[in-house]
Chains A and B, each alone.
Chain A
């Protein structure tokens, strides 16, 4: 059974936009892998079709069956981790063995606040989307 691990410095899980995400990846593989790839990415979930965008990645070629490496990524300005009525956006780090025999993932929060940004619904679509029949009078 292969083992992949991502250890973040200080066991941090919350980062400000622009912070450095640093740590160490550790691997013990049952068979040599072509490469390992560490990806920093965000993905959406919720009502909309999922979007996944890789912000940063680093490839470790010919990693052998075991080893460890340090890494450091600088986070971009956004998008923030947030959760709304329709969309949730989350950041993660993923270590993938190529061509694909294993994956390890660590979820992080990237936001100005200690937790993800929460969007409170006003319970209506935007005014420009509301179909009117006849003039509106108040």
Chain B
């Protein structure tokens, strides 16, 4: 822990034996990261260079002898285009079989077939010849998309190099003096900057994945509503299995054929959202359902007969795309919040004068921290997200019971999640009822009272104020400290001052009235920095029988003492 704190605060590492050992471990750890990243980046760069080099190769005419789709023998990507073409170099005829230097194998039959369809047998086209080896020729020069993989490998390089820099960076404040500078840490990585960076990452990753996993599949599903039902026959049905870092993945691969647009087509697209699974039994069920030789119906795009799908019904699996949507929403919320955060301020502080004596407005209408409509929106979004995700697994549970093979572990595991979902729905209803409540309007004078000064409050209610049975208003001052614990950001609050302004059950006093109080002089004025604050607020609580209470908080600015008040 001490070592971690030293790194975060920029203090010297190596001041003790423990931290010296930690420095060695960290160096080794980050060097492994850097080494892996560099090796992977070099491999990616080498392959990208190989693929890009094709653009410089000379072109020569060629004749396509054969074209089709073949299997690769790799269950992870079992299909690849196979094209045989003939070309002549130096008066000698040669045969080529390479479409491009990149890997064109795919788990989707249609992908391989589309490439093969671009080079039909008997057609004449141009191929590119390797000037250093005329026996190597390719039909296409493709952009080296593999270079994008470097974005991933460079993360390892950045973590490794950044970590080593953090461990070994020279420190300005630990040489020649026993005192370590605190002021050097001013203007460092503030909470707003962290929020901005994390928000950008979440928004970018969540946005891309939401488009890929939610928007595109659902859009395709919607477009397929106009596709034409067409007879088809399953010609091959098998469970594909391959090893991954997490074990073995499986996919049911159902290859079917159909007639459309005057020719025969093959495809293995079962739905618009296809995921591999770790559950081989699910895949076997699908293979049994679509067994070889079975006559089925597929849905064909009338504008593009090569596009088809076996199942165009909406399935719960499409909701998996809600996961990245959560990331996107969190990212956008972080970005919005980082924009709302003001920089650290010194209250009333023009640099050339004593800011504590500046004039303020006579009175001001306070804004509630969050209105009832905002509460409804927040609760609804939370309930939709939570229950949308939970419903996917609840569906699995229900399906298990319907099929006579209940998944008991999943059922028990889901109970607390479902209860939270029900509570959130209850919260939405509670918030909706709260919208119908009377709304308080608070005016204070002066607009920014001083410590020790008089605060005059006047209030009115809009709406059915007669429903409020009892009204209390409390002026509170509290500390607010935000800190990070692991990956979580937590905010603690602690009240140091509390004064009851109003406590009445009188109907006419509830409807409108005034109250006065002195701000305690021996406390702290309002203050706010990136992670710490002293907040003064008026808490309104109206008790409504058999209905959600009126509960709102209004923040006000309490200023320091004026210079005149300070001097004897």
Report which A residues bind B (CB closer than 8 A).
1-2, 4, 16-18, 30, 39, 41, 43-44, 46-56, 74, 76-80, 82, 84-87, 89, 92, 94, 96-97, 99-105, 112-113, 117, 119-129, 132, 135-137
State the Cβ distance, B380 to closest chain A Cβ, in Å. Answer: 18
Can you list 15 A-B pairs with a CB-CB distance of less than 8 A?
Answer: A16-B566, A16-B567, A18-B356, A49-B482, A51-B532, A54-B183, A77-B560, A84-B496, A86-B493, A102-B176, A119-B524, A125-B478, A126-B553, A127-B541, A135-B548
CB of A122 within 8 A of CB of B496, answer yes
What residues of chain A lie closer than 8 Å to B563, measured between beta carbons?
17-18, 77
CB of B354 within 8 Å of the partner chain: yes
Contacts A102-B177, A128-B539 hold; do A74 and B354 have CB atoms under 8 A apart? yes
B527 at the interface (CB under 8 A from A): yes
Residues on B close to A: CB < 8 A? 9, 171-173, 175-177, 179-188, 191, 344, 346-349, 351, 354-357, 369, 474, 476, 478-484, 492-498, 522-525, 527, 529-532, 534-535, 537, 539, 541, 543-545, 548-549, 551-553, 559-561, 563, 566-567
B177→A2 contact, CB < 8 A: yes
Give, as a whole number of angstroms, the nearest-CB distance from B342 to chain A.
13
Partner of B495, one of A41, A105, A125: A125
Contacts A39-B183, A103-B179; A135 near B356 (Cβ below 8 A) = no
Option from A74, A112, A121 in Cβ contact (under 8 Å) with B496: A121
Question: From residue B507, how far is it (CB to closest CB) to chain A in Å?
Answer: 18
Chain B residues lying within 8 Å of A135, measured Cβ to Cβ, are 543-545, 548-549
Find out whether the CB atom of A79 lies under 8 angstroms from the CB atom of B346.
yes
Cβ of B187: which chain A residues have Cβ within 8 Å of it? 52, 54
Write out the residue numbers on chain B whose beta carbons fall within 8 Å of the beta carbon of A56. Answer: 351
Give CA–CA (A52, B494) in the complex, Å: 22
B474 touches A127 (CB 8 A): yes
A125 pairs with B494, CB closer than 8 A: yes
Nearest-neighbour CB distance to chain B for A7, whole angstroms, equals: 16
CA distance A125 to B494 in the complex (A): 5
Apart from A43-B185, A49-B191, A86-B481, list 18 A-B contacts with CB within 8 A: A18-B563, A51-B531, A76-B349, A77-B349, A77-B354, A79-B525, A79-B534, A80-B525, A87-B481, A96-B184, A99-B172, A117-B522, A122-B497, A124-B495, A126-B476, A126-B478, A128-B537, A136-B543
